[in-house]
Amino acid sequence: FNLNVKVLMIRVLLVLLVLGSVEGRRARGQRTQTPESFPLDFTAVEGNMESFMTQVKNLAQSLYPCSTQKLDQEMKLQFLRNSSVTCNDGSPAGYYIKESRGSRRWLMFLEGGWYCFSKHTCDSRYETMRRLMSSSKWPPTRTGTGILSSQPEENPHWWNANTVFVPYCSSDVWSGSTAKTDQNDYAFMGSQIIQEVIKELVTKGLDGAKVLLLAGSSAGGTGVLLNVDRVSELLEDLGLGSVQVRGLADSGWFLDHKQYRLTDCIDTISCAPTEAIKRGVRYWNSVVPERCSHVYNGEDWNCFFGYKVQPTLKRPVFVVQWLFDEAQLMVDNVHLTGQPVQEGQWRYIQNLGSELRNTLKNVPAMFAPACLSHEIITRSYWMDIHVKGTSLPRALQCWDRSLRHHGNSSSIQAPLRGCPLHLIDSCPWPHCNPTCPTIREQLTGQEMSVIQFLTHLGFDVQRMAQQQGMEPHKLLGMLSNGT
């Protein structure tokens, strides 16, 4: 290890010793102002990151037994004290929590999992996806992965945060405000679940927080866009306006464009997103950001689409979005399994990437790889994906640093040198980024190269090269290199 590494190790040791002494005083009944726990800048040790993180973790775990609390890997289930706020079937809503004594950073994650928008679609969902409508079989603990992990080598900048996982059991994209009654077969209380969780977290230490990151994936990502301002406003109403509330929306930036193949709106998957959300907003009695509702003259369904709601938000949001999102393609009725895709489908897929790029061009902080996938921030491989040489955790750290002195304002500083915030791939095909997640052949489970994957889907190298005005061998080289 060089001198910079040793200096960083000393800084980590000092922080952990302070936290240990604070815990010891608290155990003896003394009221203490908790110091802020902060993420370190690991740029100097990137070459030795794995070894460095292992030593930091071992050091932390050896120090904590000397205090009143051991480092705990698991989040524990808590049902809401307010029993009137429920899942779809009337069972109690709740959340999983792992507290990190001494940390003033809080991460609250909203789970995803589609939605239902009518009695028929909700009855079907209850038969096939009951865990997303009921808490009756929730396990007592959960272990976080990706950004929810307490392992510093998997989660270098948020591993020591207070972590909260809110299971999705309202089927309303976290927007509903309807209780279960004799007239209503199901409750849709997603927006109220979030509000109740926040109120309970205030009693568990959120009142002393510096930063609250409201994160979510898929429907949870859209839920972040719908609720980040409301969460901040709730904390202000509770006298906690000093808490900096930010959003992290993963795979929730959907488009309301025309489907590749139009179908009747009979189920969740084939129904056009615009029509499904229009029906859902009425069925769920949805609550959307006030400024967005005003901009669209009460046509609140517009606020479920990221490129429409994001410009109206007051709080900063970091957007993470695959350019070829599997869920978007599914609702657009483009299916990439089985038979090779037709030329019209290829054009549609390429246009999807172009449309997404256009909607993201004015988003100040975002990460958009040209991959065919869905969700990333809770995947164990989330550190492996890069855009223009920058990983997602590194981009989030850069964003965090740019916001450090801006409170609850959505404005950010100019990007620091070597610390980009607006990261989007420019290559035009699915998986043209060489760091994309591994593709496996469905029947055999064997890994496929990018060229094998595209060929499997019916990609015509000769035709595509001709369209791009280049030699086929040059196109193959570009695909192999991800350029």
Residues with a known catalytic role: 218, 325, 374
Residue among 341, 314, 133 nearest 225 (CA): 314
DSSP 353-375: HHHHHHHHTT-SSEEE-S-EE--
The whole-angstrom separation of Cα 315 and Cα 225 is: 10
Q: Are strands 74-79 and 422-424 parallel, antiparallel or unpaired?
A: unpaired
CA distance 310 to 316: 9
Token output for 88? 């779809």
Instruction: State how far the Cα of 291 lies from the Cα of 311, in Å rounded to an integer.
Output: 10
Angle at 20 between CA 18 and CA 26, to 5 degrees: 105
Mutual angle of helices 219-237 and 190-202, in 10-degree steps: 50
- Angle (CA) 229 317 198, round 5°: 45
Residues 6+ apart with CB under 8 A from 294: none
CB-based contacts of 397: which residues, under 8 Å, 6+ apart? 39, 41, 156, 157, 419
What residue has token string 């997103």? 273
CB contact at 8 A, 377 and 215 = yes
Beta bridge partners of 225: none
Q: Length of the chain, please? A: 483
Q: What is the CA radius of gyration of the chain?
A: 23
Task: Give the H or E element holding residue 217.
Answer: strand 211-217
For residue 211, give Cα distances in angstroms to 8, 198, 207, 246.
23, 13, 11, 8
- 8 Å CB contact between 387 and 320: no
